Amino acid sequence: MGKESEVSAMEVDDPKSKNSDQIVPKFSINVLQLLKSAQMQHGLRHGDYTRYRRYCTARLRRLYKSLKFTHGRGKYSKRTITESTVTEVRFLHVVLYSAERAWSHAMEKRQLPDGPNARQRIYLIGRLRKAVKWATLFSQLYCLGAILATLCEWNAYASYMKGSLLFEQDQNWDVALMNFKSARAVYEELGKYGDLDNQILCRERVEELEPSIRYCLHKIGQSNLQASELLHIGDMEGPALDLFKAKLEVEYKIDKCWFQAVMAEARSQQAASMTEFHWLGHRFPISNAKTRVAILKAQELEKDLHGPSADSIPADKRLVTFDKIFSAYLEARGYIRADLATAGSAESVKDDLNGLDKAVSAVLGERTIERNLLLVKVAKSKLARRRDEKNEKVTKPEELVRLYDLLLQNTADLSDLVSSGRDKKPEEVSFSEECACKTLVFRAERCFYVAKSYSMAGKRAEAYALYCRARNLAEDALRKLQMSNGNNQIVVKELEDLCKECRSNSCIEHAMGIMEEKKAPENLSERISNISLNGAKQMEKFLMEKLDVYESAVGNSNVKSAPRIAAFPPAFVAIPRNPIVLDLAFDEIDFPPIENRMKKDRKGFLGRIFG
């Protein structure tokens, strides 16, 4: 055994040694998730490639140091990664982050303000070649025994790097297309397996690769990019699209606002046929072209939220889409109010503009309620677990109470806005009734989470009363919804579940209150027995004092109390000290006289001279 371990250690140190009988472990790296997390946390969320490159450099420095794989001190001596070198998964991380560093350096040069000049472009292509070299290194280490999923992900990553290099070099468009399609096929297949996060990441990667594939087809002559397609591509985001956008800027000799210009032109063409805005049975004419474009932009974004694939979109992307919708409607409302200021004395024009402003404000209020409901859904998913997979902050009931306060305020504002008109249409009346039902639902939900917060604080009586109140409100809202003829099956189901939860929680609080009341005399007698004559208050023992007893030191999970692990700061402890020594012999000692040693004063003239 000793010889075998010695031989294996020598083989790791010596890259030239080879042993076919060596047992190599299987390595597993979720390449896409690892890269996406690193990119989003270190600059690429905002397109900052400089920050991401510096992160990759620092990460490589830490990996080299921890692996003791440095390249010498003083004089540089290159150490290559070979089959015998890779003994753990961190060596593969070195390969991955080396490829990412080279790629991010190339993208940094690509995003210079005036674009890369001839010398910088040569350097850019060189960095992309280096990224391809690192990305293809894993295929040379195939015998390392990596699992199939990791191998497929890395091959897709290497294919994407090869396609990006050819894309930048303006040559071999058919080979670049083949590499992009290969990467897309791998991500499509990997998106069918694994957890939900992995499926979402693979789907996003496929969407990011689509524009590059279509552009390669366009260069080969098998496809044409239209303005409507560029409109959709300009709204997409992702690191894989940055090279594509930069390439189009160079291809058509345009500045960085080219996509916005193309998008505005396409929307202007579509808005030419849009003359009215429909809302609750009203039709408001739109005369301003800028207002049409802004409203059309918001309606196109709403299709993504209300389409058939809306449920598959992650919550953070839906929130970003809501922000874009809000900015578009606010822009349209700004144009409308500017037209109102310049309308003059034309009453009919003013009435149309006021109605359009009211309709846009109402739609904006509806989207605000939808966004807050999405935040409630996310908060509810985090409430049931103490700590989620990404180690994020745990949701408290008080946060849901605050969100429902916002929803109640939004619903009240929307109801006041709709009911402010004189002649109400049936659509407006039904909309007001729907707002009233939503208010009852939100009040019941808010009361339920207020009761939950009181329950966590250990206030049983208040929690019991609030659960009963929430149940009554939920039953009233359920009765009102069942009387209406609307299609509210989802809301009815949620209210039925809320009634059941209120009933079960009220029973639990009632039982807990009775148990605590029964235990009150026992606890009181125990506290009295712990009272000492010196008035010192004896607390419950800490965990360090009762290690021989299987008893929790955290306490009840429903009651907010600090865990009693150990006393801090530690109590003062009496310690012995040196005895006091009294010098009793000092008063009995007779010291000899010293007058003969003292200096005598000389009087007279000579005494003053000679001192």
* b/e sequence 175-204, b meaning 16+ C-beta within 10 Å: ebbbbbbbbbebbeebbeeeeeebebbbbb
Average pLDDT over residues 575-602: 78
Position 55 confidence tier, pLDDT thresholds 50, 70, 90: very high
Q: Which pLDDT value is given to residue 144?
A: 53
Which of 300, 298, 243 is CA-nearest to residue 125? 243
Task: State the Cα–Cα distance between residues 384 and 397, nearest whole angstrom.
Answer: 10
The span from the CA of 388 to the CA of 219, in Å, is: 46
Helix H or strand E encompassing 398: helix 397-418
- Tally Cβ neighbours within 10 Å of residue 406: 16
Q: Tell me how far the alpha carbon of residue 278 is from its chain's centroid.
A: 37
Look at residue 357 in the predicted model and tell me its pLDDT: 86
User: What's the average model confidence in pLDDT over 556-575?
Assistant: 75
Residue 19 bridge partners (DSSP): none
What pLDDT sits at residue 23?
Answer: 39
Q: Catalogue the long-range contacts made by 235-242 (C-beta closer than 8 Å, 24 or more residues apart).
A: 235/263, 236/207, 236/208, 236/211, 238/204, 238/207, 238/208, 239/39, 239/44, 239/107, 239/208, 240/160, 240/205, 240/208, 240/209, 240/212, 241/208, 241/211, 242/47, 242/107, 242/110, 242/111
Whether the per-residue pLDDT at 252 is higher than 50: the answer is no
Span 99-115, average pLDDT: 84
Q: Give the pLDDT of residue 224.
A: 55
| Pair of tokens at residue 373 | 């409901």
Q: Is the pLDDT of residue 65 over 50?
A: yes
* 310: pLDDT strictly greater than 60: yes
Q: Which of 362, 455, 369 has its CA nearest to residue 417?
A: 362
Query: What is the rounded CA–CA span in Å between residue 443 and residue 428?
Result: 22
Amino acid in position 158: A
Quick: pLDDT tens for 395-413. Answer: 788 888 999 999 999 999 8
The span from the CA of 44 to the CA of 358, in Å, is 39
Q: What is the pLDDT of residue 199?
A: 79
How many C-beta neighbours within 10 Å does residue 66 have? 9
Which pLDDT band holds residue 601 (cuts at 50, 70, 90)?
low
pLDDT for residue 21: 42
The three-state (H, E, C) secondary structure of 422-485, written as one string? CCCCHHHHHHHHHHHHHHHHHHHHHHHHHHHHHHHECCHHHHHHHHHHHHHHHHHHHHHHHHCC
**Higher pLDDT, residue 459 or 562:** 459
pLDDT given at position 58: 92
Residue 559: DSSP 8-state: B
Tokens 């605000």 correspond to what residue?
Answer: 368
Question: Is the confidence at residue 240, as pLDDT, over 60?
Answer: no
In the chain, pLDDT over 90 holds for what percent of residues? 6
How many helices (DSSP H) and strands (DSSP E) are in the chain? Answer: 19, 2
Contacts of 165 (CB under 8 A, 6+ apart): 125, 128, 129, 131, 132
pLDDT of amino acid 447: 92
Q: Is the pLDDT of residue 266 over 60?
A: no
**Residue 283 bridge partners (DSSP):** 278
CA Rg value for the chain: 38
pLDDT in tens, 334-375: 888 888 888 777 777 788 888 888 888 888 989 999 899 988
pLDDT digit string (tens) for 495-526?
888 898 899 988 998 888 888 877 767 666 66
- Residue identified by tokens 């305020």 is 409
Six token digits for residue 561: 């109390």
Give 554's contacts (C-beta < 8 A, 6+ positions apart).
Answer: 563
Give the mean pLDDT of 405-430. 82
Enumerate residues 6+ apart whose C-beta is below 8 A from 161.
99, 103, 128, 131, 132, 135, 136
Q: How sure is the predictor about 57, in pLDDT bands with cuts at 50, 70 and 90? A: very high
Residues 6+ apart with CB under 8 A from 559: 456, 457, 458
Gap between the Cα atoms of 287 and 340, Å rounded: 12
Q: Put residue 391 in one of left, alpha, beta given phi > 0 → left and psi -120 to 50 → alpha.
A: left
Rounded to 5°, angle at Cα 199 from 195 and 200: 115
Half-sphere exposure of 496 (CA within 13 A, CB side): 8
The string of pLDDT tens digits covering residues 6-19 is 333 333 334 333 44
Between 607 and 483, the higher pLDDT residue: 483
The CB-side HSE value for 105 (13 A sphere, CA atoms) comes to: 20
Distance CA 152, CA 561 (A): 50
Range 24-222+249-270: architecture per CATH: Orthogonal Bundle (1.10)
CA-CA distance, 2 to 70, in Å (whole number)?
28
| Residue % of the chain over a pLDDT of 70 | 75
Better-scored residue on pLDDT, 450 or 216: 450
Confidence of residue 228 (pLDDT cuts 50, 70, 90): very low
Show Cβ contacts of residue 140 under 8 Å, excluding neighbours closer than 6 positions.
none
- At 230, the pLDDT band (50, 70, 90 cuts) reads very low
Residue that wins the pLDDT comparison between 534 and 381: 381
**Mean pLDDT of the residues in the chain:** 76
* 123 pLDDT more than 60: yes
Check pLDDT > 70 for residue 259.
Answer: no
Neighbours of 264 (CB within 10 A): 16
Residue type at 301? L
Kindly report which listed range (43-47, 76-80, 138-142) carries the lowest average pLDDT score.
138-142
484: left (phi over 0), alpha (psi -120 to 50) or beta: beta
Question: Which residue in this structure is represented by tokens 């939100």?
Answer: 442
Express each pLDDT in 204-222 by its tens digit.
888 888 888 887 887 777 6
Read out DSSP for 1-16?
Answer: -HHHHHHHHHHHH-TT
